[in-house]
Chains A and B, each alone.
Chain A
Amino acid sequence: MPPPKRIRAQTAPTRGLALMSRLTGRTVIESDVCIIGSGITAAMIAQKLARTTAKTIVVVEAGDEAAPLAQRATLRDRFLEYGESPWPHDHIDGYEIEGPLQSRSMGVGGLAMHWGGVTPRWSPEDFKTKSMCGVGTDWPISYEDLDPYYQAAEEVIGVAGEQGPVAMDPRSKPFPMAPIPLTYNLGLLKEWASTAGIAMWSQPSSKNSRPYDGRAECCRNDTCFPICPVGAKYSPDFTWNKLRASNRITLYPRTLVRRLVMDEGSARIGSADAMQRGPRGSGTPVEFRATSFVIAAGYVWSAHLLLLSRSRRAPDGLANRSGNVGKYLGGHRNQQAFIELPLRLYPGINGQHSLVTKQFMRKPVGDKYLRHDLRVWESSNARGPRLRNDAGALMLGDDIMRDWRERSRTGVARVRAYYDVIPDRESSLVLDGRRRNAYGDPLPKLAFRDAPESAALRGYSDDALKRLFERMARAGNGRVIHVEQDDGGFQDHPAGGCRMGSDPATSVVDGWGRAHDHENLFVVGAPTCVSASCANATLTFCALALRSAEEIATSS
């Protein structure tokens, strides 16, 4: 067998990789740091290491390149007109899995190519639910530990935000950008919320309220999820473009890491076996060798890769001496209501932007454990054009417009609360022996489960939120039109699977994301979370990743 072709990573990905592999039988790519995944948390790690160290950095991404900014206006038009995916082919064929997957997207930039860009911080209570509220498990780090990394993340991705009341919304420095202004509609809705005794403010968002970091100001065309056509919303491709242009990283798209391999005679990770994906399930093997490995593959694929990496020396998978890889998947449940109000609202001014409050994220002493956020949007629910009137008669021509106009003299608010669910250990991801990818590797199987303390409180939580919505409606002389609840199968902003902790017997990684079992292996962001709060999570994943980057920088 010919010797492997060795490539020392430093510049743009080597073209003709597949060709070389065919000639030499194997390609080995060496670097100081090998990051697996190219989502938002990977982007945080890479940019920080690139800025603060001289390490060579390789990023390995299973999916394809994302459509460049110049194409996004056209892709958005197709989405608006036909409902087409504005990110075509951003998935791997055959990855239909059992259980609720957040999204099928796998590609350069990860899920944050089409996220909504909503970026609240979590609250201090989230990291201390056991000591402050008597439920769940405390994290090994506190909100105060994370505060500087939150700030750094907000600066990298560009967050426009309004400081809430300091007691509820502590932060040591101002937001990098002034808030996205409250629309005329949200101004009215804020007044309404205050009559119900709820202080609300502009939702922090990773959308530019002014030109920022070479990207445009938001022009409120309202398709942040799933695609921003002007680049006003942060997405990781902007970071990758810069790092690639400056030759600070080498990114290998369409390259699926299949397993990590331990060095003989030590617990260090020596290599990552990958497949450069070809058409129709074909592929070319590639081996990545590095001093440090960073798994930044999100809440599903990180634990999945560790489980796939089982071997004679690690029969249950890597980093899994505690048996907790794939366990404690968490997220939050939501309940929302549509409330009719005697207000003339104009839906469409900037519909994805909302009001937020953290008032309910602190549990009052003596109350049962219910912590939730609360957001309010303008809504066109029950205020759209319709074909039949209340009597069921068909309308055409002027009748439809007349009916629509009449009904839109009053407005509708959408009100939603995410509430915290304590994850059960058996809320988990396992390898599915029945479903395999094109290379024969088992796919994951997911199931969320509430810990007993949360399961017992589910009815109470749902009722309490319904009562809150009704109280809000009454305060505005309105009425709740209808309430929607999660079916419970999927929990939003999922996290966990490689939880952090100080005790190697009960956790997978330490407070920096370093695997207890392998000194040169890091897992970052979502999978390391101990619990998942009751607010959008990605800013927290980014802050955790930036904190991990500090430790990775010292790793050798």
Chain B
Amino acid sequence: MTSLSRRAFLGWLAAAVPVAALVRRAHAAAIDDLAASPQAMQALGEAVLPSELGTSGMTAAVLAFQRWIAGYREHAELLHGYGTSKLESSGTTPATKWSAQLDQLDATAMKVGGRRFAELPVARRRELVSAELAAIKADRIPAVGRAPHVALALLAHFYATAEATDLCYESAIGKQTCRPLSASVRKPLPLAASRS
């Protein structure tokens, strides 16, 4: 499906079905969209994630992000606040917005460089993403589900992982994973040593 026909499909859905069903179908459609654009997502990963991940690490990060999107549930009860009786639930799927933003990156790439986003050199892709993020005044890495842009969402998803922390500290900390209690007293092993 081309970008245009994907958007047209979402637009057609909007006219054809009630809102609740629309949201569900739009979520599914957006997931299909994102999954149908593996090169665009991979290209985005190369632009925003650290290069030391290598191709396989990058692919793994992008796939994990796609799994996250696919698993998103709308109106799910969120963790209760502390000291308040107010409840919160998750919002509508961010995937439709993110899918449209991927399309937008493609459209801009075509306009300024005559090529699709994934076909541009990494530095040029990064410039396009920077311009988009500047336009929405992005100033921090948000919680994934609240990311106003697909590039930020991908970043946020990666940087929340235990792998990202381990990479930063170059040590096998393994946050929030099951590890022997007794090993907590020693300094985490350097990554290279822990892998060997």
Known contacts A79-B79, A91-B80, A220 near B184 by CB under 8 Å? yes
How far is B86's CA from A183's CA once the two chains are assembled, in angstroms? 36
Identify A222's interface contact among B50, B176, B180, CB under 8 A. B176
A320 within 8 A of B: no
Given A101-B83, A183-B185: A81 in contact with B68 (beta carbons within 8 A)? yes
Contact at B47–A84, with CB atoms within 8 Å? no
Q: A278 to chain B: which residues have CB within 8 Å?
A: none
Please pick, from A95, A187, A221, the residue contacting B185 in the complex, using a CB distance under 8 A. A187
Asked whether, in the complex, the Cβ of A397 is within 8 Å of the Cβ of B68, the reply is no
Interface segment out of the listed A343-351, A462-470, A472-480, A541-549:
A343-351
Surface stretch bound by A, among B3-11, B27-35, B113-121, B130-138: B130-138
Query: In the bound complex, do residue A100 and residue B83 qualify as a contact, i.e. CB atoms below 8 Å apart?
Result: yes
Contact check, A394 vs B133: say whether CB atoms are below 8 A apart. Answer: yes
Name the residue among B159, B175, B176, B184 with the largest chain A CB count within 10 angstroms: B184
Given A181-B185, A346-B173, decide whether A401 and B78 contact each other with a Cβ distance below 8 A.
no
Contact A184 B188 (CB under 8 A): yes
The distance from the CB of B126 to the nearest CB of chain A, in whole angstroms, is 5
Residue among A100, A396, A490 with most chain B CB within 10 A: A396
Interface flag for B85 (CB, 8 Å) = yes
State whether the Cβ of A315 lies closer than 8 Å to any Cβ in chain B.
no
Cβ proximity bits A70-91 to B, threshold 8 Å, 1 near / 0 not: 0000000011111111101101
CB-defined interface of A342-385 with B at 8 Å, one 1/0 digit per residue?
00001111110000000000000000000000000000000011
Interface centre among A384, A397, A398, A401 (most CB of B within 10 A): A397
A83 in contact with B143 given A100-B84, A103-B82 (CB within 8 Å) = yes
Instruction: Determine whether the beta carbon of A181 is less than 8 Å from that of B182.
Output: yes
Q: Does A482 contact B (CB under 8 A)?
A: no
What is the total of A-B residue contacts with beta carbons within 8 Å? Answer: 164
Q: Are B173 and A226 within 8 A (Cβ)?
A: no
A-side contacts of B151, CB under 8 Å? 396
- Which residue of A has the minimal Cβ distance to B138? A387
Query: What is the distance, in angstroms, from A162's C-beta to the closest C-beta of chain B?
Result: 13
A189 CA to B84 CA, complexed, in Å: 33
Whether the Cβ atoms of B145 and A83 lie closer than 8 Å is: yes
B residues 21-78 touching A (CB-CB < 8 Å): 47-52, 68, 71-73, 76-78
Task: Say whether, besides A346-B169, A348-B175, A408-B169, A387 and B185 are in contact (CB < 8 Å).
Answer: no
* Cα–Cα distance between A98 and B180 once the two chains are bound (Å): 44
Verify B50–A401 contact, CB threshold 8 A.
yes
Cβ-closest chain A residue relative to B146? A83
Q: Contact partner of B176 among A223, A394, A404, A405, CB < 8 A?
A: A223
Q: B73, B78, B143, B168: which has the most chain A beta carbons within 10 Å? A: B168
The 8 A-B pairs at the shortest CB distance, nearest first, are namely A348-B175, A490-B83, A219-B178, A401-B50, A101-B85, A183-B184, A348-B173, A385-B159
Extra inter-chain contacts (8) besides given A85-B78, A396-B151, CB under 8 Å: A81-B71, A101-B83, A184-B187, A222-B175, A347-B173, A348-B165, A349-B188, A388-B139
Q: Which residues of A line the B interface, CB within 8 A?
A: 78-86, 88-89, 91, 95-97, 100-105, 180-184, 187, 209, 217-223, 226, 230, 346-351, 384-388, 394, 396-398, 400-401, 404-405, 408, 489-490, 492
- 26 A-B Cβ contacts within 8 A? A80-B176, A100-B83, A102-B82, A103-B80, A104-B85, A182-B185, A183-B184, A183-B185, A184-B188, A220-B178, A220-B181, A221-B177, A346-B187, A348-B173, A350-B181, A384-B159, A387-B140, A388-B140, A394-B134, A396-B48, A396-B151, A396-B155, A398-B50, A398-B52, A401-B50, A401-B52
